[in-house]
Amino acid sequence: MRVEVIDGVTFRDIETGRVFRLFGIDACQRDQIANLGRQPWQCGVAAIAWLTNATLNKWVSCNALREKDGRRIARCSSSEHADLAGDMIKEGLAVCLPDSEDQRVRSYILDEEQARKAYKGMWSSQFAMPWDYRAKQASSRKNEP
């Protein structure tokens, strides 16, 4: 299928409109910032850019594991990436979901540890875990007048 990227872990099949979310990972939100020393950078935009580049004008294949909130939770690949989620983890542009949210993929945990040790991507910076960032944003919106 050909896809359009929605965010750092989600894309839509252009022909059918079906929405797929990469299994076992999470990434910074579109407006989320990480800080490398005093230099802020847009970790969410970086994740979206990576996924866009990995799928742009390429055939994407997904194995849907289940459906949640109208999205298919899936393991996906493209012609250049046998495992899109795993490669995002390796590049430090995604993190493993915590145990309570989803079943963790053992290889993703090991890849995340390697990315962290190598200070790749987000691991070179200070950042909030994506689920913490979303919770803080939701809390802020509730407290708005």
Mean pLDDT, residues 22-29: 95
pTM of the predicted structure, to 2 decimals: 0.90
Helix and strand counts by DSSP (H, E) for the chain: 4, 9
DSSP state of 81: -
Mean pLDDT, residues 11-39: 96
Higher pLDDT among residues 102 and 94, named by residue = 94
Decide if pLDDT at 102 tops 60: no
Coil, strand, or helix at residue 23?
A: coil
Decide if pLDDT at 32 tops 70: yes
Sequential DSSP letters for 78-143: ESS-S-HHHHHHHTTS-EEPPTTTSPPPHHHHHHHHHHHHTT-GGGGSB---HHHHHHHHHHHHHT
Mean pLDDT, residues 57-86: 94
Structural contact between residues 55 and 5, judged by C-beta atoms closer than 8 angstroms = yes
H/E element, 38: none
pLDDT score, position 11: 96
Structural contact between residues 109 and 96, judged by C-beta atoms closer than 8 angstroms = yes
Q: Which residues pair with 64 in a beta bridge?
A: 74
pLDDT score, position 68: 86
Give tens-digit pLDDT for 86-100.
Answer: 999 999 999 998 865
39, two tokens: 């230099």
